[in-house]
Amino acid sequence: EPPPGCPPDVEQLGRATWTFLHATAAYYPEKPTPTQRANMLMLLKSLPVLYPCTWCAQDFGESIEENKPDVSGRVALSRWLCERHNEVNEKLGKERFDCAKVDERWKDGPPDGSCD
Ligand code: FAD
């Protein structure tokens, strides 16, 4: 773990980016407007072009070519993103995340209220 104030390494950048993406998906509307859909699609498609880890960006680009982003609503988008994150987890030898738990992890917190 690099000291505070250092530029992000691939791990820190990844955690920050997943946090942003999953949280944004968790609060994406259930019935997005065409403008919201178009902007979400642009956000996701920007990553392969701009994400500052070139091999991550390239693999993510291939992943979203094979699995087109589902920007139809928050539940579908959260699920789609969870699956893409699981592909990266798998590639890195990390555990798969149970996608039934995305809302608990990124929106509602656990039922025991321990995050309130
Ligand atoms: P992270 O994988 O960063 O996850 C953060 C938290 O998200 C976890 O603690 C967990 O609570 C939750 N979580 C885990 N899986 C899911 C899921 N499927 N759905 C919802 N929530 C979940 N690193 C590389 O070394 N090589 C790569 O090619 C690479 N590609 C990447 C591509 C993208 C688009 C992004 C955003 C990151 C990429 N990374 C890559 C970084 C990598 O995914 C991790 O972020 C990094 O290794 C830190 O991992 P972590 O174990 O701290 O948890």
Q: How many Å lie between the centroid of ligand 1 and the Cα of residue 109?
A: 19
In the DSSP assignment, the letter for residue 39 is H
What does the pLDDT look like over 42-90, one tens digit per residue? 999 999 999 999 999 999 999 999 999 999 999 999 999 999 999 999 9
CATH 3.30.300.20 fits 11-107, yes or no: no
pTM given for the model: 0.98
Q: What is the mean pLDDT of residues 5-29?
A: 97
Q: How far apart are CA 14 and CA 58, in angstroms?
A: 14
Residue ranges per structural domain of the chain: 11-107
Alpha-carbon Rg for the chain, nearest whole angstrom, is 15
Q: Is 97 in the pocket of ligand 1 (CB under 6 A)?
A: yes
> Does ipTM surpass 0.95 in this model?
yes
- Could you tell me if the CB of 68 is within 6 A of ligand 1? no
Q: Is 63 in the pocket of ligand 1 (CB under 6 A)?
A: no
pLDDT band with cut points at 50, 70 and 90 for residue 1: confident
